[in-house]
Amino acid sequence: MEEKIITAENAQPEKRKKILSCIQPSGIPTLGNYLGALKNWKLLSDEFDSAFAVADLHAITVRQDPQKLRKQIMEVFALLLAIGLDPEKNIVFIQSQVPAHAQLAWILNCYTQFGEMARMTQFKDKSQSHADNINVGLFSYPVLMAADILLYQADLVPVGADQKQHLEIARDIANRFNGIYGKTFTIPDPYIGKQGARVMSLQDPTKKMSKSDPNPKSYVSVFDTPETIMKKIRSAVTDSEGGVYYGDGKDGVNNLMGIYSCCTNLSYEQIEREFAGKGYGDFKNAVGEAVVEELRPVRERYEMYMKDQAYLKEVAAKGAATASRVADRTLSKVMKKCGFVLP
């Protein structure tokens, strides 16, 4: 058989995979958001064609104060730059500035079943914690998330473990649409980093650390000062036994070990060796210091970006224009397939 010689002319460059992820501006991001999602985004952004957004449309599924929301959107946008995402190489944008997200979400709503949404764990949890406002947006939240992902034909979606169920729905919706109309959407895979996939609350280590938790002692915010971080980690709930090792019934210690491991790259065995014969006081001090050092450069860059709001707005507008070009291509394809008449 004739051997095919690959030359510069006939080479089919392997298509770079695409990733997309978003974070809600529903409060100040926590160490959980950072270790579970943002840190991976930076690592992956060097390797993939990437788009990252502030999911502000998602944030209004829970009642927000307009002034606070406006502030938080810009804070989280500044944070995306502070973690090192390069807006020249990645698409970094604000979801509501790209109308295609809301447009595709409406269409996909009509290809999603009521029963599929009703069994979403996050919907059940949030309907309990916001019993006075179980709005339809909260219910169809995963459809908007599917629209975010499918518009960019993302291959991979880096998220924390809590978002796995929403990713499965996005895949189901995409498969269903492709089944009816022929291949339209790339089927996305979740990318869930091993460590930090689920950082737990410092006050109740059976619950995930959440930026909307009413008790600020339960989370470390990425903008907390070193003193606050040390105080919060020192008051983290552990157990009365005293040994630093990973095990059943040691949720608090397991959580701190996970955090320490993410910040230092040490394995659990190495951590157990480091703290053999030592108490929780020494351990918590070491965890606190590791977290302070991990977040220090992020906080410093964040403070620098926040001083220049005009620059942030300009970067966001450019990001939205680029995002719209990509998203509109997919939206037009979908609209044609559904039978709409394009202008």
User: What are the residues binding ligand LTN (CB under 6 A)?
Assistant: 20-22, 24, 55, 58, 145, 148-149, 157, 159, 163, 166
Report the residue number, 200 or 292, with the smaller CB distance to ligand LTN. 200
**Among positions 19, 37, 91, 167, the unique one binding ligand ATP when judged by CB under 6 A:** 37
User: First-to-last CA distance in the chain?
Assistant: 52
User: Using an 8 Å Cβ cutoff, are 55 and 29 in contact?
Assistant: no
Q: Is 40 in the site for ligand ATP (CB under 6 A)?
A: no
Q: Give the nearer residue to ligand LTN in terms of CB position, either 24 or 112.
A: 24
Q: In this chain, which stretch among 24-32, 45-53, 105-113, 227-235 interacts with ligand ATP, using CB under 6 A? A: 24-32
CA distance 169 to 152: 17
Least gap, CB of 79 to ligand LTN (angstroms) = 14
Q: Is residue 35 a contact partner of residue 196, using CB atoms and an 8 Å limit?
A: yes
Closest CA to 28 of 216, 240, 241, 263: 216
Q: Whole-angstrom Cα distance, residue 119 to residue 168? A: 12
Cα distances (Å, whole numbers) of residue 237 to 10, 173, 246: 61, 41, 15
Count residues near ligand ATP (CB under 6 A). 21
Contact status: 323 vs ligand ATP (CB under 6 A):
no
Nearer to ligand ATP, 211 or 334 (CB): 211
Least distance between ligand ATP and beta carbon 27 (Å): 6
126 is catalytic: yes
Which parts of 233-262 interact with ligand ATP (CB under 6 A)? none
Q: What is the rounded distance in angstroms from the CA atom of residue 140 to the CA atom of residue 29?
A: 23
Closest residue to bound ligand ATP by CB: 36
Residues 92-131, interacting with ligand ATP (CB under 6 A): none
157, interface contact from ligand ATP, ligand LTN, none, CB < 5-8 Å by kind:
ligand LTN
Closest distance of CB 256 from ligand ATP, Å = 14
Would you tell me how many other CB atoms lie within 10 Å of the CB of residue 256? 27
Query: Amino acid identity, residue 75?
Result: E
Residue 278: what residue type?
K
33 binds ligand ATP (CB under 6 A): yes
Q: Quick check: is 71 catalytic?
A: no
Pattern of binders to ligand ATP over 191-220, x per CB under 6 A?
-----xxxx--------xxxxx--------
Q: Which is nearer to ligand ATP, 100 or 209 (CB)?
A: 209
Which residue out of 124, 183, 194, 211 is catalytically annotated? 211
Helix or strand holding residue 136 (H, E): helix 136-139
Amino acid of residue 281: G
**Nearest alpha carbon to residue 69 among 53, 55, 56, 88:** 56
Give me the least distance between CB of 156 and ligand ATP, in Å please. Answer: 13
The DSSP 8-state label assigned to residue 163 in this structure reads: G
Does 23 help bind ligand ATP (rule: CB under 6 A)?
yes
Q: Is 30 exposed, middle or buried (0-12, 13-18, 19+ CB in 10 A)?
A: buried
DSSP category for residue 97: G
Q: Is 211 a catalytic residue?
A: yes
By three-state DSSP, how is residue 304 classified? Answer: helix
- Residues labelled as active-site residues: 126, 208, 211
Positions that interact with ligand ATP (CB under 6 A): 23-24, 26-27, 32-33, 36-37, 159-160, 162-163, 196-199, 208-212
